[in-house]
Homo-oligomer: A and B are copies of this chain.
Amino acid sequence: MRAGLKRDRVRDFLLDFIADKLPGEAIPSERDLCKELGVSRPTLRAAIDDLVRSGLLVREHGRGTFTGPHRVTQALSATPSGSFYVPPAEGTWLSRILEFGPVPAGPQLATRLRLSPAAPVLRVVRLRVVDDEPMAIERIQLPHALVDGLVPADMESGSFYRLLRERFGVDVRSAVQTMEATVTDETEARLLHVPQHFPALGVERTTRDADGRIVEFVRSIYRGDRYRVTSELHFDAESG
């Protein structure tokens, strides 16, 4: 068997296929796609399910399957113990590194990262891009000692957490994330190709490893028109 799962290859094919489609356009029927891709219908449906869950496709019983109204939906719940469901293909994400280098932690950041204010912190600012379209600005800060030897190219594609685990032995385990509505300032607007004071999601995340040590502190700005956060809530018997 080749590198990836068949289902993932089908999903990636569909991602390419819908990349230049307008919202609401139909995709071929499931049975046609099966024949064309040489896979069974359950396999194809599993791939489509992924894309439906992340909002890229919408099914309509008896009519067909259509591209969704928005490009990227980030589902926060939905996975075992609530781990990130990174929107479909990690491979379609690219990053432009805007800033990369060590800085002294300083008083505020030292508090966030539980370090001495003099400790060196690696600061990376990157513009996250999907299909040549800027989606978000990420400002990552982490103890420099943790990632000795990291170079900018490492952060241009692929999963940063996988890199942390496989190359630096950092076992990323949990994060606390807060999100709020905001608008873009002048710099952000220019980088994200939107007008100034455009709606945006501001996100702060503090990430910890298996021992509870703080691994990174991230502030991000996501384009408001390209991101929605989906969550599934379950009620017990009380709570209102």
Contact = CB atoms under 8 A, between A and B. Distances in A.
B69 A81 contact: yes
A68 B53 contact: no
Contacts of A58: 80-81
Listed from nearest, the 8 A-B pairs whose CB atoms lie closest are A159-B240, A181-B224, A75-B77, A81-B234, A76-B231, A161-B240, A181-B199, A180-B228
The interface centre, meaning the residue of A161, A234, A238, A239 with most chain B CB atoms within 10 A of its CB, is A234
A105 interface: no
Nearest to A75: B77
A175 B233 contact: yes
Interface residues of A, number: 65
Contact of A173 (B73, B173, B197, B234): B234
A179 interface: yes
A52 interface: yes
A201 interface: yes
Interface in A48-100: 52-55, 58-59, 68-70, 72-84, 87, 90
Contacts of A160: 240
A62 B75 CA distance: 28
B171 A234 contact: no
A73 to B, nearest CB: 6
Interface string A209-238: 000000000000010100111111111111
A6 interface: no
B233 A83 contact: yes
A240 B161 CA distance: 5
Given A77-B75, A82-B73, A232 B181 contact: no
Contacts of A52: 80
Nearest to A199: B181
8 contacts: A55-B82, A68-B81, A75-B231, A159-B240, A175-B233, A180-B199, A180-B201, A181-B227
Contacts of A238: 165, 171
